[in-house]
Amino acid sequence: MYDCIIVGAGPAGGTAAYHLAKRGHSVLVLEKESLPRYKPCGGGVSPAIAKWFDFDFSPAISTKVNTIRYTWKMGDPVQAKLQTPEPMWMVRRDVFDHFLVQQAQKQGAELRDNTEVKGIQFKSDHWQVDTANGSVTGRYIIAADGAKGPMAKWLGFKDRKRRLAGALEAEAPAKVEDGHIAHFEFGLVKNGYIWNFPKADGYSIGVGTFIGGEPQDFKGILNEYGNLFGLDIKTCKQYGHALCLWNGNQKLHTQNAVLAGEAACVVDPLTAEGIRPSIFSGVKAAEAINRAIAGDINALEQYSQAICDEWGADMAWAQKLAGVFYRVPGIGYKVGVKRPTATQRMGQILCGEMSYGDVAGRALKRLSGSLIPGMGG
């Protein structure tokens, strides 16, 4: 009987496993793929996550980005240096996720990869988890099986508050001319943006839409964008995937179980940043399970509350900004993105030095002021 069974070895699952094992609990991580496994993802990670751990992430970082370059319909470029204390990290998810799980294993967590969960049953005071390789039991469960995983449904979370968004990513092996610049393109895609993130040995290029709308030709858009960098996207491996964007506070706990990571719909609705919020939810889930094991009957409820208060409150501002920005991106680019302070503010938000709440009021006023004469500030 494990103290906690964690389903999913992504950033949320690996984080929770590390912190629970470090506190001396018996932890089993179940992962349906074999680790390390490829995961389509831009791979931008805020260095702010370092404060939640006591080990060095250097082995898991592919490159670091200190400059952001924006374009509007592949022209009108703006380039800005990040003024953050540490540059943004660019990671490959197979390496990063596996590294995190390995740190958990060093603390005593057990990993069973290549082990798909087939079903779960609650038995008086613990969970039985049925896998393709037999059954295991645990007092608590953390469901960290991602946007499309079945755990949330099996745990009885019927209609989660989430906005499903779509992304298409291409992996382009290439000689990276300048590995310290991350590229963002607005205007070519509706209701979203295109990104090109450098890695040590190539680029992760992707396109995502975040507020719905008409279906678009993602493949055609990516091909066109790839030409800017001399890349033939048609010859690259391409991966489509869903994103669970935050869409309002909700209950994330049930009998002896919590949702974490994308299963908890914590992805930023403005930028689609997912790794830092997933790790944050993993930290909080581990704290809650630790308190529950010690006998605190309100611990899991407090987990739902903590995610609402400490993440959701700010995501409400991000959602408001996304709603305006992606509907009038041309104006957003002109009065928002092109402002010299815009990149610094976003850098500070990603590094946890500022919140959306600190800047949203002014930004919304500026955006709506450009639409409605006399409203500008």
Percent of the chain with pLDDT over 70: 98
Q: Is the dihedral of CA 141, 240, 221, 223 positive or negative?
A: positive
Confidence of residue 375 (pLDDT cuts 50, 70, 90): very low
Confidence of residue 372 (pLDDT cuts 50, 70, 90): low
Is residue 213 scored above 80 in pLDDT? no
Taking residues 247-258, report their average pLDDT.
Answer: 95
SS3 221: helix
Is residue 36 scored above 90 in pLDDT? yes
205 secondary structure, DSSP code: E
Least confident of 79-83, 133-137, 288-292, 362-366: 362-366
Count of CB atoms within 10 A of residue 77's CB?
12
In total, the chain counts a number of residues equal to 377
**Which residue is associated with the tokens 């204390």?**
85
Q: Which residue did the predictor score with more confidence, 13 or 242?
A: 13
Count of CB atoms within 10 A of residue 316's CB?
18
371 within domain boundaries: no
> Could you tell me which of 42, 43, 31, 23 has the C-alpha nearest to residue 101?
31
The strand ranges marked E within 145-269 are 162-173, 181-186, 192-199, 202-209, 237-246, 253-254, 257-259
Average pLDDT score, the chain: 92
109 within domain boundaries: yes
CATH assignment of the domain containing 296: 3.50.50.60
Contacts (Cβ under 8 Å, ≥6 apart) of 74: 185, 187, 188, 224, 225, 228
365 within domain boundaries: no
Q: Domain span at residue 307?
A: 2-63+89-162+247-318
Least confident of 35-39, 104-108, 350-354: 350-354
324 within domain boundaries: no
The CA distance from 79 to 135, in Å, is 54
pTM, two decimals, is 0.94
Copy the structure tokens of residue 184. Answer: 């963002």
Name beta bridge partners: 56.
none
Taking residues 14-30, report their average pLDDT.
Answer: 98
369 within domain boundaries: no
Element (H, E) at 218: helix 218-226
Give pLDDT, residue 374: 41
Give pLDDT, residue 204: 93
Q: Is the peptide bond before 373 cis (omega within 30 degrees of 0)?
A: no
Confidence of residue 371 (pLDDT cuts 50, 70, 90): low
Confidence of residue 376 (pLDDT cuts 50, 70, 90): very low
* Count of the separate structural domains present in the chain: 1
> Could you tell me which of 275, 286, 281 has the C-alpha nearest to residue 350?
275
287 within domain boundaries: yes
Taking residues 159-164, report their average pLDDT.
Answer: 80
133 within domain boundaries: yes
Q: Which residue did the predictor score with more confidence, 350 or 177?
A: 350
User: For helices 275-293 and 299-307, what crossing angle results, to 10°?
Assistant: 160
